[in-house]
Structure 1
Amino acid sequence: MSLDSPNVVELPAIFTTNVENHDWNKVTLNVKEAMKKLRPKNGNVSTKILKQVAHALDIQLSVLRDEQSAEVIGAITECFRFLRNACAVDRHLQKCLVNSTIFTSTSDLLGILCSDTTLENNLSCVKIIVQFIGNAIVGNQKNQIIAWEIFHPHVKKLLVSVDDSLVNFSCMVLYNILIGELDATLQYITTNMPLLLNCYSNGSEFAMFIVEYVLGIDKLLEEIYPQLNSEYRLELLDAIWSLLVEREKETEENVKFPVSNVLFLVKQLKQQIDSVLTIVEEGMTAEPRETLRLLDVVACASSRTQYLPSLQADRSLLISIACLLKNVTEIGKSEGGNIFSSVQRLSEVKLSNESVQSHPVFGFKVSLVRLVGNLCHQQAENQNQVRELGCLPAVLDACNIDVYNPLLLQWGVFAVRNLLENNLANQGIVAELVAKGPASSAVLHELGMELHQDEGGSIRIAPLKRS
């Protein structure tokens, strides 16, 4: 940057006089006029301004300690608005900040403005200050280290603010420090994960970036997960599920979730899997909910080539899942029906679509069948294991429609295909099944149709015969 340039942005000489006279309205006007001259990416900001603004902030801080008037807070807001915008248009200022007193003043001002009694009254000013910190640290590790010292005493208060934009701006600062690989920030985040998960569930974009970044660190999940209570574990599992499912179209390299973390979740699933069967007698509690969500996540992971080989190599996982599928299928056929019983027609449950989706085991059997099918994909030993466990009938039974398990039929057919592929023993069992005619379908009946088998053995859909 050349200070001889005619486009260099400077504050008027009277600015310092206005500051020392505590004429905050004029100070505000001076800063606004200078801000109008900022031009993106032109590097046109005079470094002299930093000294002027630093001096102004020192005096404003002194005044603020005695009286928090709207005028002085307004002037502080404009000074930081200028600094925020200036850092965005002239990265050279980032380096100059290290040698000024602005960071120190920022810390002291946050201490006053973020107190329990003042934060919600000073939201506009605090948001601008936090945005300034964010712009001052992007790609600058020196500033990130300094900013963390300034910022971390106030993080908790900022992250629980009722103002969603302030929460997101605060997460932005955390994220930019985090990706600079500052160990202290990572340690803070891992020990305060519930706080970040609250921000994530409330829709903070940068909280999502933080959570996904942390989930992408090898074996870190093993440290975080045991520290969380059941509700926060569910929140974290939802975040992992979103990472795996909502980005299915992205390449494997873009989904940063290490195999070690998937295997940790598998370990948790196997430890808890028996709790699912207690739902019939004891109802839904926190532990089965966690187990069901773990199953969803592991089933999703099994559809990704980067995880499938490791999952297929875990024989105890296959045994646990296949046996669970067999058990819930048998329990679901019990007289009188229960939570695992299949329901073919929505009219039978007399619930709205939203209520159906809130059913305690909604999608549970789909995840079981999907996981069994994927674990047996081109894996003869696993195909044989399912047969030897007597679980083939349970997979065949899944080739049906169930209101509480959307796509169960499709995943059931896919699982059968994987179990029979190049496996003569499994094919033989299916070949020995005796055809008793087309199965009754309550869904088709509800639509006024039925399956009809003609003399040649072909099955087609036909109008329902009324008696």
Structure 2
Amino acid sequence: KITPKVPSNILRFSKYPAPFEELGALHIGCWNCLNHQDEKTVAYCCMVLFTCLNPERTRELQEESNLNVALAVLQASRKYPESEWTFLIVTNHLLKCPELVKAMYAKLSNQERASFLELIQSEIGENNTVISAETAKFLVNCFKEKCQAVLILAFAANDDDEEALVTIRLVDVLCEMTSNSGHLECLQACPDLLEVTVKTLQLTHLAGKQSTNIFTVTHSGQEQSCHPAVGFKSHLIRLIGNLCYKNKANQDKVYDLDGIPLILDNCSIDDNNPFVSQWAVYTIRNLTEQNERNQELIARMEQQGLADNSVLEKMGLKVEKRDQKLILRSSGKTPHL
């Protein structure tokens, strides 16, 4: 069996800073080979391409005449998920170029975008440096534009809506990014991200109360549904908690948006949102840390019967009355997570 050999006249291009478009036959050949039916041909093509790419050539892939090569690499990575060379091109080159990420995203179908976002999410967890601040802000804007698309999932006939699935994947990515110290400060300062997240939680919570759907709280104890929106409200609450971590301005913004009663209303066990009560505990902790106004609001709600005392106990909190003033303080008990 003959093993293909990479021609030396192609490999030599990796030693010179020539623009990608000047690689001539290599540019045309790459696209043809990346779309070849033979997996080994695709792998060898990716090996050559990886060797030839550098930051300057990667930026040139965003140009209309070259973009098809980058898109073909993404397609190959989906078709052959175990391929090491496609993975290396995507993570070491494509994802590190914000302009190229934007150009590729604009050309992808919703189904392809969802897969692309899954890839980004997996990389954020492994490597802090893959996604730049500019790319993070771009993904925030994508979420802000499409956040309400998920509401269509309240209707059973639309449980496979691809645009809604993209919104779900965007929230997953933003949760992962805000769990990473390298991206947290940047995203905490993103205009309107917190407001859009709180409002999306409000809308999905309301949709779940108006009719029985995937956003409705359930306690059936049955096997977890495979619906794509399972866990969506949990992740919204997690995102709010991350954005409010040691950030007084965002803590106050959630107060102004009436987000605290909303989160307290999502503290019960919900089969459609695994770990929602745990994320609610975490978020309330972040909202009340060194924030007397938020603490006082929860204390007043408990006094008026608007906040379940058992829920506060699970959070490791209790309400005390001191000098005619209600105070929320730690009970000294470990929160039930």
Report deviation, 1:381: 1.9
Partner residue in 2 for 1:175: 50
Distance 1:342 1:259, change over 3 A: same
Number of aligned residues: 303
Distance 1:189 1:342, change over 3 A: farther
Report deviation, 1:320: 0.9
Correspondences of 1:36-435 after superposition (within 5 Å) = 125=2, 128-130=4-6, 132-133=7-8, 136-137=11-12, 140-141=15-16, 148-179=23-54, 181-182=56-57, 186=61, 187=63, 190-201=67-78, 202-203=80-81, 204-212=83-91, 213-245=93-125, 247=126, 250=127, 252=128, 255-281=129-155, 283-284=158-159, 285-335=161-211, 337-347=212-222, 351=223, 356=225, 358-432=226-300, 433=302, 434=305
How many angstroms apart in 1 are the aligned matches of 2:217 and 2:66?
43
Amino acid at match of 1:190: L
Distance 1:268 1:366, change over 3 A: same
Say if 1:377 and 1:418, in contact at 8 Å, map to a contact too: yes
Say if 1:177 and 1:185, in contact at 8 Å, map to a contact too: no
Distance 1:305 1:190, change over 3 A: farther
How many angstroms apart in 2 are the aligned matches of 1:325 and 1:314?
18
- Counterpart of 1:319 in 2: which secondary structure? helix
How many angstroms apart in 2 are the aligned matches of 1:184 and 1:222?
11
Task: After superposing the two structures, state which structure 1 stretch, 210-219 or 394-403, moved more.
Answer: 394-403
Distance 1:228 1:386, change over 3 A: same
Report deviation, 1:407: 2.9
Distance 1:150 1:185, change over 3 A: farther
Distance 1:325 1:183, change over 3 A: closer
- Deviation sequence 1:130-151 (CA, Å, 0-9, x none): 3x55994496338998994443
Report deviation, 1:196: 1.4
Amino acid at match of 1:294: L
- Counterpart of 2:182 in 1: which secondary structure? coil
RMSD: 3.2
How many angstroms apart in 1 are the aligned matches of 2:261 and 2:27?
58
- Deviation sequence 1:159-194 (CA, Å, 0-9, x none): 233332321221111111113744697356633333
- Counterpart of 2:227 in 1: which secondary structure? coil
Say if 1:378 and 1:418, in contact at 8 Å, map to a contact too: yes
Amino acid at match of 1:387: Y
Report deviation, 1:274: 1.9
Alignment TM-score, normalising by the size of structure 1: 0.58
Distance 1:180 1:424, change over 3 A: closer
Unaligned 5+ segments in structure 1 are 1-123, 440-457, 462-467
Report deviation, 1:342: 2.5
- Counterpart of 1:329 in 2: which secondary structure? helix
Report deviation, 1:211: 1.6
Distance 1:145 1:128, change over 3 A: farther
Distance 1:142 1:428, change over 3 A: closer
Structure whose CA Rg is larger: 1
How many angstroms apart in 2 are the aligned matches of 1:238 and 1:392?
30
Distance 1:142 1:277, change over 3 A: closer
Partner residue in 1 for 2:327: none
Distance 1:280 1:189, change over 3 A: same
Amino acid at match of 2:71: P
Partner residue in 2 for 1:92: none
Of all paired residues, the percent bearing the same amino acid is: 28
Alignment TM-score, normalising by the size of structure 2: 0.78
Amino acid at match of 1:273: C
Say if 1:332 and 1:342, in contact at 8 Å, map to a contact too: yes
How many angstroms apart in 2 are the aligned matches of 1:180 and 1:310?
24
Amino acid at match of 1:222: K
How many angstroms apart in 2 are the aligned matches of 1:184 and 1:363?
37
- Counterpart of 2:117 in 1: which secondary structure? helix
Distance 1:154 1:415, change over 3 A: same
- Deviation sequence 1:345-404 (CA, Å, 0-9, x none): 442xxx5x6xx3x31202211220111111111222211221221121221233333333
Amino acid at match of 2:104: I
Task: After superposing the two structures, state which structure 1 stretch, 381-390 or 415-424, moved more.
Answer: 381-390
Say if 1:197 and 1:235, in contact at 8 Å, map to a contact too: no
Unaligned 5+ segments in structure 2 are 312-332
